[in-house]
Amino acid sequence: METQIVRSRHEKGKSLRRRRIIEAAAALASEADSDTVSMAQVAARAGVSPATLYNLFQTKSAIFRAVFEDDHNQFREAVAAAGIESPFERIFVALEVVMARYERNPQFYRGTVRLTGAQSLYAEMSDHVGYRSVFWRDLLVEAVAAGEIRAEVNPEVFGLLMVQVTRSQFLDWAWGVIDLSRAEDQAAYMFALMLQKYVTPSTDAKLASRIAKLERVLARNNKVGS
């Protein structure tokens, strides 16, 4: 019994140290060029010894993998908390959630762009893309099951395409080319056009209305084709 208590305390302490390290790395990513952030800096910010840091993560890439996983989990929780029953509608609500997260913490998200400067960290970002594609894929599968999208759609392919759409809008925003409102409108419009061929009659009118509204907004702001 005593051994179990000691083990439980050890695991709890380990979990808390991992959490501090992840939060420290995320903070550093939003403050400076992350390619220059050392393991020692992460350890110092987290309040752990370098030995503890290496024992828990081994590499900076592993730390940022955990940072991205944590960010993705928070994103999924935020979408679920929106309480939207329709999987098809959740596709567009998820875009709103993404943009809201960027707006709340722009320093962090813009900071992650700099991670692509190192090959190993770029690999971690590629894994992050994988998480996102699975998220979109699963929403499409649910929409098919709900009768909102026809079974002819390929969820795997569409999941990857949706990641490419959101990533292109994210990068344009991160580099200051467009604002978040424009990024969301453009991503939603591209999503809608991609799905237009596959919606069922029960969803067709709603999608047509969404497309018309987005076209008016984009045209009014001279954004179409820019």
Superfamily in which the 59-220 domain is placed by CATH? Tetracycline Repressor, domain 2 (1.10.357.10)
What pLDDT digit, counting tens, does each position of 164-204 carry?
999 899 989 989 999 999 999 999 999 999 999 999 999 99
Domains 1-58 and 59-220 share a fold: no
* 1-10, 49-58, 83-92, 174-183, range with the lowest pLDDT: 1-10
Q: Distance between CA atoms of 118 and 124, rounded to whole angstroms? A: 10
- pLDDT number for residue 119: 46
Read off the pLDDT of residues 118-155 as tens digits, 9 standing for 90 and up.
Answer: 444 555 555 555 778 899 999 999 999 999 999 999 99
Residue 113 is predicted with a pLDDT of 76
User: For residue 205, what pLDDT is reported?
Assistant: 96
CATH fold of 1-58 reads Arc Repressor Mutant, subunit A (1.10.10)
Residues near 69 by beta carbon (within 8 Å), at least 6 away in sequence: 128, 131
With tokens 């061929």, the residue in question is 197
- On whether the CB atoms of residues 212 and 193 are closer than 8 A, the answer is no
- pTM here is 0.83
**How wide is the angle at C-alpha 191 spanned by C-alphas 116 and 64, nearest 5°?**
25
Phi/psi of residue 33, nearest 5 degrees: -65, 110
Residue ranges per structural domain of the chain? 1-58, 59-220
> Sorting pLDDT into bands at 50, 70 and 90, what band is 107?
confident
pLDDT of residue 108: 86
The residue-averaged pLDDT of 54-68 equals 87
| CA count, 13 A, side-chain hemisphere, 172 | 18
Counting residues of the chain whose pLDDT is more than 90, the rounded percentage is 63
